[in-house]
Amino acid sequence: MNVSATGKMKIDCPPFLDQRPGTSGLRKKVARFQEPHYLAMFVQAIFEGVGNLKGSTIALGGDGRFFNREASAIILRMAAAHGIAKVVVGKGGLLSTPAVSNIIRARQLRGGIILSASHNPGGPDGDFGIKYNVANGGPAPEAVTEAIFARSKTLTGYEILDESAGTIDLDRVGSQKLGAMSVEIVDSVADYAALMERLFDFERMRGWLRGNDLLFDAMHAVTGPYAEEILVKRLGAPRAALINAVPKPDFGHHHPDPNPAHAEELMARLWAADAPALGAASDGDGDRNMILGPKLAVTPSDSLAVLAANATLIPAFAKGIKGVARSMPTSRAADVVAAELGIESFETPTGWKFFGNLLDAGRVTLCGEESYGTGSDHVREKDGLWAVLFWLNLLAATGKSVPEIMAAHWQRFGRHYYSRHDYEALDSARANDIMNGLRQRLADLQGRGGIDLADDFRYQDPIDQSVSEKQGVRLVFGNGGRLVLRLSGTGTEGATLRLYIEKFVARTGALGLDAQAALADLIADAETIIGIKKLSGRTRPDVVT
């Protein structure tokens, strides 16, 4: 170690070899991130892998999970040592992922660092994560994450300011200095709330909230303060419309994952006799959403299709939408709407980073993923509260209920019954064997047993022509059925296999069935063809959504 007159230290350290970013940033157990130099070495890999950050301004914020503050302090001292000119930080180190995206875009920053493992559990025994967003406000594309990974394997150390350079008070809004670097602490919510007011008809939504109940579950994660400002202060919902609205470092011991399996309290309220008209939840870093009506959970793939079909009722999209994109495992419900509207539709690999080019090129306006992610060109991330406001605006504009909107949608377009079955924490070698075994049989499967297409999804980006291989196996049946199998890229324990099951029923068919019942035959076929249970030794999936 050597300390210069400016307090800059070079810390020598051999590289860590497990820092390849996954679907959305680097995620590891908190304990791994707390190991000496682990976080710092990855941050150094970001600075060097991204490559053009000296003299620039970047954003920094996180979802408030355990280790958020300590990590923020380390990153600020490293940013100063690296020669970054200024960092814009959310108060208390808090910013939702879409809020970071907005700040980068609105202030034309070079990029931003987000501290989050999103929907993964937090706390000392939970997960931590770090992701880098580029100048368009979106997640770093694969070329950048691969450059970061390559750099992480050859680093010999990192640079950081000595503590004598001072510390930043994360809770004091305003300008501060760290060495030669400026730090601006900003209100975490203000810019984002102003953006939402520009997109939606707040007057009309206020009217709807005077006669209808809303229940929003922030899952003790980052959207609590956002919901408080937007839903309560600006839209007039009562404070009781929010549950779990105070962010906690361990998310109250829960998974901050907005799905029927993890939002128990919210689900119970929506299935009760006096259920609110709209129920919703968001995840750890505020980019996911779940939408519920009385006794009805809207499938995320359907939500994208409904938003596309009704977009012109929202002020931001009054002139129509340009196109729709969905991740490959997401159901094809949105494609049907796009065809009807005469607009383009795109199928991309899993992860929001693949939507950025299409949004930047003006080819699509709305994007979605089956994993409770929906968004538009207002930022370059999926956006949880945005989706809730979209639905609220839709209910206010139509005067219809959530079940009425869904029934009308299916009667017009037909219904894509859909479910995802997750097999979590499998032995990695075994999970890879199951994937590879299926891959080897693709040529045999194609054309047999009603399967029209059996392939491993390969994506060529229509804008920059970059290619991403092996993005998941698709088995597409001629009768409207589809099975998809892929390995998760966000887990931190063993491997998680995701099986996605989809079946299309035309508008003249049975539209009101329970999804698991409607999909039962296809689920049984999946076991016959792929044999996850047989090969993994598991009797049932860990999570069904």
The contact set with ligand VG1 (CB under 6 A) reads: 23-24, 118-119, 283, 287-288, 327, 350-352, 369, 371, 373, 488-490, 498
Report what 202 binds from ligand VG1, Co ion, none; CB cut-off 5-8 Å by kind.
Answer: none
Comparing CB distances to ligand VG1, the nearer of 354 and 391 is: 354
Report what 352 binds from ligand VG1, Co ion, none; CB cut-off 5-8 Å by kind.
Answer: ligand VG1
Least distance to ligand VG1 from the beta carbon of 294, Å? 26
Looking at residue 308, its amino acid is A
Report what 369 binds from Co ion, ligand VG1, none; CB cut-off 5-8 Å by kind.
Answer: ligand VG1
Q: Give the E-state strand segments of 237-355 in sequence order.
A: 242-243, 278-282, 289-293, 296-297, 323-327, 344-348
For residue 181, give both structure tokens.
């670097």
Alpha-carbon span 517 to 514, nearest angstrom: 5
Least distance to ligand VG1 from the beta carbon of 327, Å? 6
Burial of 444 (0-12, 13-18, 19+ CB in 10 A): exposed
| 3-state DSSP percent of the chain in helix, strand and coil, to 5 | 35, 25, 40
CA 85, 89, 93, 94 torsion-angle sign: negative
Q: Report the interhelical angle of 142-152 vs 38-50 (nearest 10°).
A: 130
Comparing CB distances to ligand VG1, the nearer of 159 and 283 is: 283
Q: Which residue is nearest to ligand VG1 (CB)?
A: 118
Q: List residues binding Co ion (CB under 5 A).
A: 118, 283, 285, 287-288
Comparing CB distances to Co ion, the nearer of 62 and 481 is: 62
Task: Identify the active-site residue in 56, 72, 118, 303.
Answer: 118
Alpha-carbon span 369 to 420, nearest angstrom: 12
Distance from the Cα of residue 98 to its chain's centroid:
9
Comparing CB distances to Co ion, the nearer of 288 and 503 is: 288
Least distance to ligand VG1 from the beta carbon of 81, Å? 29
Least distance to ligand VG1 from the beta carbon of 373, Å? 6
- 401 in catalytic set: no
- Give, as one character, the DSSP assignment of residue 119: T
Least distance to Co ion from the beta carbon of 390, Å? 17
Number of H helices, E strands in the chain: 19, 27
CA-based end-to-end distance of the chain: 51
Comparing CB distances to ligand VG1, the nearer of 271 and 459 is: 459
For residue 518, give both structure tokens.
């409607």
Annotated active-site positions, please?
A: 118
